[in-house]
């Protein structure tokens, strides 16, 4: 049963890619990739740690899926098309059943987006998965956090808060039929918004993905753009599943401060917004939730029924005092 490092790589990760731009993949000392002229490379890396980014008893396939999803979400936020990835895998033990589940979740999402695993590293240690994804954008434009202007309209994709609610369903072992299953799935299987990012690439003034909580991440966008934002809580898209299982106030808390959404937050100049919105072809909704303001850099003002609204707890920060992780 005990697999060597070489067997692990050969059996689970050395898969031939159908991508023509992988000149040399897994098996040599490094990968060689064909980069087309006239495009820019976009590179992102994310690490997920057992007990911090996923629960200790998580299904192996869900862990593999998540390792890719969180990285693809970053590429989506840049307006990039993903192409290649490398993976550093730290494993406490070489369990075949676990490895096969992990690889199935990993390649399920990688294949969907035609991302080739071209190299990596495999070591013994606590369960930690680091994935680096590279992709490309056309040379003329990519998305950044820093281009929003006062007056730009603020949008979010999907329904923020459902993932955090799904985590609560899992942690509290809540029953609740279809609604509970739906929310769990939203936490376990985030959908990277690659298609949305690609369509926003030349039209959004700013974009980022929401992973640490809507308000916390909106603040980052505001700081990068040198402006403020007003977030109208009444405009947040409602989740039927959350309404069924949670008090309205808890739902609001998840939407504003819960992590793991992996939705896109973006801004559009008001004159351009109607045409952009009507041209979007999407598998999820996008909702205007506020507007960028002249307010002090990095300040997010929340309004509910026109009145200032304060949330109980801000978003997730790994190094904030007393934070336990999500
Ligand atoms: P080296 O010792 O030269 O760094 P390794 O023995 O670590 O090489 O890896 C052998 C090959 O397997 C390399 O091509 C490497 O990129 C690949 N590899 C190792 N671990 C992984 C992994 N977890 N996923 C994908 N490829 C991997
Ligand atoms: Mg080597």
Distance 94 CA to ligand 1 centre (A): 16
Residue whose CB lies within 8 A of the most ligand 1 atoms, among 3, 23, 26, for a mutation test: 26
Distance 136 CA to ligand 2 centre (A): 26
pTM equals 0.93
- Give the phi and the psi of residue 272 in degrees, each rounded to 5: -90, -20
Whether residue 122 contacts residue 92, with contact meaning beta carbons closer than 8 Å, is answered with no
Ligand 1 atom at shortest distance from the alpha carbon of 117: 25
Q: What is the gyration radius of the CA atoms in the chain, in angstroms?
A: 20
Distant-in-sequence, close-in-space partners of 254: CB < 8 Å, separation ≥ 6:
160, 161, 162, 164, 165, 168, 242, 246
Going by CA atoms, what residue is nearest to atom 3 of ligand 1?
A: 29
Nearest CA-CA partner of 274 in 184, 193, 195, 203: 203
pLDDT tens, per residue, the chain with 326 residues: 468 999 999 999 999 888 999 999 999 999 999 998 999 999 999 999 999 999 998 999 999 999 999 999 999 999 999 999 999 999 999 999 999 999 999 999 999 999 999 999 999 999 999 999 999 999 999 999 999 999 999 999 999 999 999 999 999 999 879 999 999 999 999 999 999 999 999 999 999 999 999 999 999 999 999 999 999 999 999 999 999 999 999 999 999 999 999 999 999 999 999 999 999 999 899 999 999 999 888 999 999 999 999 887 666 666 665 444 44
Considering every ligand atom, which ligand is closest to the CA of 13? 1
Residues with CB under 6 A from ligand 1: 9, 13, 26-29, 87, 89, 117, 119-122
Nearest CA-CA partner of 133 in 108, 115, 151, 152: 115
Residues in the chain: 326
Residue whose CB lies within 8 A of the most ligand 1 atoms, among 4, 9, 115, for a mutation test: 9
> How many other CB atoms are found less than 10 A from the CB of residue 77?
31
Q: How far is Cα of residue 158 from the mean position of the Cα atoms in its chain? A: 12
């Amino acid at each position: 049963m005990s697999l060597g490092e070489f067997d692990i790589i050969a059996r689970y990760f050395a898969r031939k890619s159908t991508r023509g731009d992988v000149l040399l993949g897994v098996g040599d000392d490094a990968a060689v990739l064909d980069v087309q002229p006239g495009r820019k490379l976009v590179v992102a890396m994310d690490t997920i740690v057992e007990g911090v980014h996923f629960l200790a008893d998580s299904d192996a396939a869900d862990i593999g899926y998540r390792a890719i999803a969180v990285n693809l979400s970053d590429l989506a936020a840049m307006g990039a098309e993903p192409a290649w990835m490398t993976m550093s895998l730290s494993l406490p033990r070489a369990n075949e059943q676990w490895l096969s589940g992990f690889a199935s979740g990993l390649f399920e999402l990688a294949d969907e987006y035609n991302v080739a695993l071209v190299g990596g590293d495999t070591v013994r240690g606590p369960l930690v998965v680091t994935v680096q994804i590279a992709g490309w954008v056309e040379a003329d434009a990519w998305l950044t956090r820093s281009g929003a202007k006062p007056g730009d309209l603020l949008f979010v994709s999907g329904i923020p808060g459902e993932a955090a609610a799904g985590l609560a369903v899992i942690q509290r072992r809540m029953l609740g039929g279809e609604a509970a299953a739906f929310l769990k799935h939203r936490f376990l299987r985030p959908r990277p918004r690659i298609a949305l990012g690609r369509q926003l690439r030349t039209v959004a003034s700013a974009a980022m993905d929401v992973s640490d909580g809507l308000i916390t991440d909106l603040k980052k966008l505001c700081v990068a753009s040198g402006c403020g934002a007003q977030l109208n809580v009444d405009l947040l898209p409602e989740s039927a599943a959350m309404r069924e299982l949670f008090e309205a106030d808890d739902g609001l808390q998840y939407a504003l401060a819960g992590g793991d959404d992996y939705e896109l937050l973006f801004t559009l100049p008001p004159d351009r917004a109607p045409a952009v919105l009507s041209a979007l072809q999407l598998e999820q909704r996008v909702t205007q939730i506020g507007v960028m303001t002249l307010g002090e850099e990095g300040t997010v003002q929340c309004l509910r029924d026109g009145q200032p609204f304060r949330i109980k707890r801000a978003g997730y920060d790994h190094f904030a005092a007393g934070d336990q992780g999500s």
